[in-house]
Chains A and B, each alone.
Chain A
Amino acid sequence: MGKDKLNNIEDFLTNDSFICYVFEQTSSLKKYWDDYFKCNPEKESLARNARQILLNEDDKPGISSTEKEELKQRILSTVMKVNSYK
């Protein structure tokens, strides 16, 4: 899992296990990450920031509603195409 490589926010943001931990908190994930932070207390603030980003807590609108709608129409039209081939 390469948890020794967790040196910046992006490392946490792209770590599958960490992503699951933020959203699921199953007992094995919780134990794994609790142990990790016990051994690496200096990583806790990085992890906290990464967690906020994953949970979208700063909630800044990164995408405009027009862009959102355009992307949605693009996705829906691809879905229609894929469906009609079947």
Chain B
Amino acid sequence: MTTAEKYVTAAYCAVFAIVLLYVLIIALKLQRLEREVETLARAAARERDEDEDREPVQVA
């Protein structure tokens, strides 16, 4: 492998590595958001169950 070939390979690998790192960071962020959605969905379901368990009361 000549010096020029090594440098060209390094340049393309650097592009690939930086894009991959960026995609990885976005993927980790989306995973965190997904966990938060699940937490909120569970909270909403719990709230709905509590509403259903509550007995209706005559107020007037």
A binds B: no
B residues near A (Cβ < 8 Å) are none
